[in-house]
A and B are shown apart, each in its own frame.
Chain A
Amino acid sequence: MAPVDIADSVPYSERPEWSDLTPVAQYENIQPLAPIFYNPDYKDATDYFRGVVKTGELSPRVLDLTETIIRLNPAHYSAWQYRYQTLIATKSSLADELILTNELTRIYLKTYQVWHHRRLLLTLLNDPLPELPFIEEILKVDVKNYHTWSYRQWLLAHYNREDMWVQELPLVERLLEEDVRNNSAWHHRFFVVFERGGADGEDTVRQELAFVKEKIALAPNNLSAWNYLRGILDHKHLPYSTQADFTKLYVVSSIALNEESVVDLENPRPSKGAQLPSAAAIEFLADVYEAEGESGLSKAVELWRSLADEHDTIRKKYWEYRIREATVAAPD
């Protein structure tokens, strides 16, 4: 979406209500290196902004001026900062400001400043509940936007309200249903389940393991899901060997999977379209063997070798490093 068209609007230099303010040119006594060729509207507005900053004026017309600048360049952090200070000084309605910010967030979702401005407003408004559906709306535009996610996570941690937390897992599940490779959604799941503080006992761990294994079965080469599996185990200090049986189903080649066998809910089998072996599974199993110590070492080395030479050749140096590290560390 394009910024609002202000081509028709009158420049600040021609507005009678601004005639009392002296605009300040950006570079006055020097010939700058690496200047930007601004269009006249932007130059006009920022000249007046520098004039305002110089006099320290905090007034309603400054809100108009900073909005103009923000719409022309939403990354102008000084305009945002000055706008916030003006809002506070003029005791303006922050609820109205949030409505405007909703619009600006939709248009400029990729800028740091619009999200931080929101956060400042929310901190004062203390009404976080309507934020959750709003953020979901923004996620529909860009489901991996970093700022959107970190804002949502801030909101949850900052307010720490049960009526907010309960909405999170259903959201994550919807998003993973749409795209099981969405790493932002996986991270959010980890945040919600394990970083909330408390409430991650044995039942939770069992549930999460079942959930992630089912997702791995769906697309066994999805690194996001494997990383989540590792995340659970590392976080709870559980040995990787607890998942060895599951992993072994994914290190074989597809052909070996023809035979039907008893459905094992703990260890879901790879889906029909799976491209096996999964390099991530090989890596995982190698870690299992490495942890066994001397007895597992040769099996681990063999798996790393197969990654280096065949299944994950771009990381050859890394797999060779793992072999060296494991063999040097092992007792003779």
Chain B
Amino acid sequence: MSWLPRSTPIDGYPTKTSDLQSETEDVLVSHLPREDTPPVLNKNPHLQFLVRNLVQGFPARYTSQDASQPWLMFWTLQCFSTMQVGIDPNNKQRAIDTILSWQHPDGGFGGGPGQAAHLLATYASVCSLAIVGRPGPKGGWDQIDREKIYKWYMSLKQPDGSFIVSTVGEVDVRGIYCLLVVAYLLDIVTPELIAGTAEFIVSCQTYEGGFASASHPYFAAQPDEDASPHCLPFPRPNLGEAHGGYAFCALASWVLLKPFLPEGSSLNINGKRLLRWLVYMQGSEIELGGFKGRTNKLVDGCYSWWVGGEFALLEALGITGHHDRSESDAHTDGNDEAWADVDAFKHFTDSLFNRKALQEYILCAGQHPAGGLRDKPPKNPDAYHTLYCIAGLSAAQHRVFPSQARRRQLEEAWASDGELNDRLRKTAFVEALSWLEEEGTSKVIGPSSNRVNATQPLFNLTATHTEGIMSHFYHQTVPRWIPTKAP
């Protein structure tokens, strides 16, 4: 190694935080990419790790995730999808049967059979069914009791627009994100369901720009228990500091809720401050450009997705690293026909974060030699980190953005069935499916075999799986997308 990156400055004033940081840098520096050997994604050991968990089962130390069985399933299945691996029909059916055994008789899915329904478990179950399920008897999709899920959702709703994650459970933005994804996928979004939720999300943004787990709706316990509580005006106090995981859930929720805001609504998040905070979550060269989850904490492979995945979501807010914005704006002036060209016209795009460095962190520090991916060396791999490292790799390789041309095509193809909420349903359908991978701009570090699939950034499912389950529940045919060639 001819060149060593700078250590994080400690200003001659070491503290516990800087000690931990230095120790981590000492470990990471031995994993710096070598100029002579391009880093390789060791797909085979990772797949073996995943297959072993799926088919043979998880070792006893995973007992701590007994209440997260749907997550173990989702992490594993979504890894296969992202790594371009299909699942045989027999295992697919076993997966469907297993997932359905988590469905609660009163609606929603629990962390395992006989467990209480939980918003997070319901996300992981429904997304897993998006991957392995199908319509018809035993297919999984038609066995989801959507009406009961909806009723259960409404029973979890709080006066400030938030939701508790389960009966007598806690409120946080993870739960809201999970609820909204499922509501989108299953076509159960209603104005009543999401009333006040966007306000809640906005109230969770902290002074740093990221998002907290929750906010508090009012000061002091209600003196009169019968009186309806009055929510504080903005800003409401944040519960917890800005955090990468909560920021992902909050931003994705915001993108999912934004299309339903009343016209002329001034409600907004501070995109500029969020962007600044997000870019600061990327560790420096000596940390191999991995992401951290909070200011002055350590890098961790899972934030490759929770933070790295947020840059695609920012595209929905018009925040993009794409260079020729003024030119594409000029194309759209009163000329609808130009839209198709606009998407293709983005001949040079770039991200707002260091895509190359993030890939190097995942490939050089995130991979465990024996298979599976991890937080950081010398830690062991696990199912959670394996997915979120792979998903982060995907986010760093591809640019996925909401395409105006695709949106218009989907709007035109929408078959109205005169149902109540037709406009709202159409909006949900179009918003979710208008995300496209930009052709010809993927950036793969290492050999081309390192390439993984792009994922739909709102749901962390592939476009194919998103389209499959949504066309089923919305009774729509998704028009084929034929990418136009770049000039």
Which partner residue on chain A sits nearest B209 by CB separation?
A227
A221 to chain B, nearest CB (A): 4
Which partner residue on chain A sits nearest B219 by CB separation?
A160
Question: Is the beta-carbon distance between A34 and B116 smaller than 8 angstroms?
Answer: no
Is B294 at the interface (CB under 8 A from chain A)? yes
CA distance A77 to B351 in the complex (A): 40
User: Which of B61-69, B390-398, B421-429 sits within the interface?
Assistant: B61-69
Is B212 at the interface (CB under 8 A from chain A)? yes
Contacts of B98 in A (CB 8 A): 27, 30, 32-34
Q: Which single member of A116, A146, A314 contacts B282 (CB below 8 Å)? A: A314
User: Which of B9-17, B142-150, B191-199, B411-419 sits within the interface?
Assistant: B9-17
B127 to chain A, nearest CB (A): 14
Question: Is the beta-carbon distance between B64 and A153 smaller than 8 angstroms?
Answer: no
User: Which of B26-34, B230-238, B462-470 sits within the interface?
Assistant: B230-238
Is A252 at the interface (CB under 8 A from chain B)? no
Which partner residue on chain A sits nearest B207 by CB separation?
A231
Question: Is the beta-carbon distance between A50 and B113 smaller than 8 angstroms?
Answer: yes
**B313-350 CB contact bits vs A (8 Å, 1 = yes)?**
00000000101011000000000000000000000001
Q: Which residues from 184 to 207 on chain A have a C-beta closer than 8 Å to any C-beta of chain B?
A: 184, 186-187, 190-191, 194-197
What's the dominant secondary structure at chain A's contact region? helix
Q: Which residues from 171 to 193 on chain A have a C-beta closer than 8 Å to any C-beta of chain B?
A: 178-184, 186-187, 190-191
**A299-323 CB contact bits vs B (8 Å, 1 = yes)?**
0000000000000111111100100
Contacts of B64 in A (CB 8 A): 73-75
With an 8 Å Cβ cutoff, the count of chain B residues facing the other chain is 92
CA distance A201 to B439 in the complex (A): 53
Question: Is the beta-carbon distance between B216 and A34 smaller than 8 angstroms?
Answer: no
- With A119-B170, A317-B350 as known contacts, state yes or no: A271 contacts B12, CB within 8 Å: yes
Question: Is the beta-carbon distance between A275 and B63 smaller than 8 angstroms?
Answer: no
Question: Is the beta-carbon distance between B168 and A78 smaller than 8 angstroms?
Answer: no
Question: Is the beta-carbon distance between A35 and B58 smaller than 8 angstroms?
Answer: yes
Question: Is the beta-carbon distance between A36 and B321 smaller than 8 angstroms?
Answer: no
Is A139 at the interface (CB under 8 A from chain B)? no
CA distance A35 to B69 in the complex (A): 8
Question: Is the beta-carbon distance between A180 and B95 smaller than 8 angstroms?
Answer: no
Q: Which residues from 61 to 76 on chain A have a C-beta closer than 8 Å to any C-beta of chain B?
A: 72-76
Question: Is the beta-carbon distance between B207 and A34 smaller than 8 angstroms?
Answer: no
Contacts of A220 in B (CB 8 A): 11
Q: Which residues from 267 to 298 on chain B have a C-beta closer than 8 Å to any C-beta of chain A?
A: 273, 275, 279-280, 282-285, 289, 294-297
Question: Is the beta-carbon distance between B58 and A324 smaller than 8 angstroms?
Answer: no
Of the listed residues B10, B15, B54, the one surrounded by the most CB atoms of chain A closer than 10 A to its CB is B15
Contacts of B11 in A (CB 8 A): 218-222, 270-271, 273-275
**B202-220 CB contact bits vs A (8 Å, 1 = yes)?**
0000111000111010111
B18 to chain A, nearest CB (A): 6
Question: Is the beta-carbon distance between B12 and A274 smaller than 8 angstroms?
Answer: yes
Question: Is the beta-carbon distance between A30 and B58 smaller than 8 angstroms?
Answer: no
Q: Which single member of B10, B58, B165 contacts A37 (CB below 8 Å)? A: B58
Which partner residue on chain B sits nearest A26 by CB separation?
B113
- With A42-B63, A158-B220 as known contacts, state yes or no: A33 contacts B73, CB within 8 Å: yes
Q: Which residues from 115 to 161 on chain B have a C-beta closer than 8 Å to any C-beta of chain A?
A: 115-116, 118
User: Which of B239-247, B248-256, B452-460 sits within the interface?
Assistant: B239-247
Question: Is the beta-carbon distance between A36 and B94 smaller than 8 angstroms?
Answer: no
- With A33-B54, A77-B166, A153-B238 as known contacts, state yes or no: A219 contacts B13, CB within 8 Å: yes
Question: Is the beta-carbon distance between B112 and A26 smaller than 8 angstroms?
Answer: yes
B138 to chain A, nearest CB (A): 11
Is B354 at the interface (CB under 8 A from chain A)? yes
Which partner residue on chain A sits nearest B354 by CB separation?
A314
Contacts of B9 in A (CB 8 A): 221, 275, 278
Q: Which single member of B72, B232, B243, B352 contacts A146 (CB below 8 Å)? A: B243
Contacts of B484 in A (CB 8 A): none
- With A33-B94, A150-B213, A273-B12 as known contacts, state yes or no: A182 contacts B66, CB within 8 Å: no
Q: Which residues from 50 to 90 on chain A have a C-beta closer than 8 Å to any C-beta of chain B?
A: 50, 53-54, 72-78, 81-82, 84-85
CA distance A187 to B91 in the complex (A): 47
Question: Is the beta-carbon distance between A77 and B323 smaller than 8 angstroms?
Answer: no
Is B473 at the interface (CB under 8 A from chain A)? no
Question: Is the beta-carbon distance between B63 and A159 smaller than 8 angstroms?
Answer: no
CA distance A137 to B12 in the complex (A): 29
Is B169 at the interface (CB under 8 A from chain A)? yes
Contacts of B449 in A (CB 8 A): none
Which partner residue on chain A sits nearest B114 by CB separation?
A50
- With A321-B321, A328-B326 as known contacts, state yes or no: A314 contacts B357, CB within 8 Å: yes
Contacts of B283 in A (CB 8 A): 314
Is A18 at the interface (CB under 8 A from chain B)? no
CA distance A157 to B216 in the complex (A): 7
CA distance A77 to B241 in the complex (A): 24
Q: Which single member of B168, B208, B213, B236 contacts A81 (CB below 8 Å)? A: B168
Question: Is the beta-carbon distance between B101 and A123 smaller than 8 angstroms?
Answer: no
A291 to chain B, nearest CB (A): 13
Is A120 at the interface (CB under 8 A from chain B)? yes
Contacts of A82 in B (CB 8 A): 116
Question: Is the beta-carbon distance between A182 and B220 smaller than 8 angstroms?
Answer: no
B67 to chain A, nearest CB (A): 5
Which partner residue on chain B sits nearest A76 by CB separation?
B67
Is B111 at the interface (CB under 8 A from chain A)? yes
Question: Is the beta-carbon distance between B237 and A33 smaller than 8 angstroms?
Answer: no
Q: Which residues from 111 to 163 on chain A have a C-beta closer than 8 Å to any C-beta of chain B?
A: 112, 115-116, 119-120, 123, 126, 143-144, 146, 149-150, 153-154, 157-160
Q: Which single member of B8, B216, B243, B294 contacts A158 (CB below 8 Å)? A: B216
- Interface, chain B (partner A; CB < 8 A): 8-13, 15-18, 53-55, 57-60, 62-69, 72-73, 76, 91, 94-95, 97-98, 101, 110-116, 118, 165-170, 206-208, 212-214, 216, 218-221, 232, 235-243, 273, 275, 279-280, 282-285, 289, 294-297, 321, 323, 325-326, 350-354, 357
- The contact sample of 16 A-B pairs, CB cut-off 8 A, is A26-B113, A33-B73, A34-B57, A38-B63, A77-B165, A153-B240, A181-B296, A182-B296, A190-B206, A191-B237, A194-B207, A197-B232, A223-B296, A275-B9, A314-B284, A315-B279
- Interface, chain A (partner B; CB < 8 A): 24, 26-27, 30-39, 42, 46, 49-50, 53-54, 72-78, 81-82, 84-85, 112, 115-116, 119-120, 123, 126, 143-144, 146, 149-150, 153-154, 157-160, 178-184, 186-187, 190-191, 194-197, 218-224, 227-228, 230-231, 234-235, 270-275, 278, 312-318, 321, 324, 328
8 additional A-B residue pairs with CB within 8 Å, beyond A223-B296, A273-B11: A36-B66, A85-B168, A120-B168, A153-B239, A182-B17, A183-B295, A313-B284, A315-B353
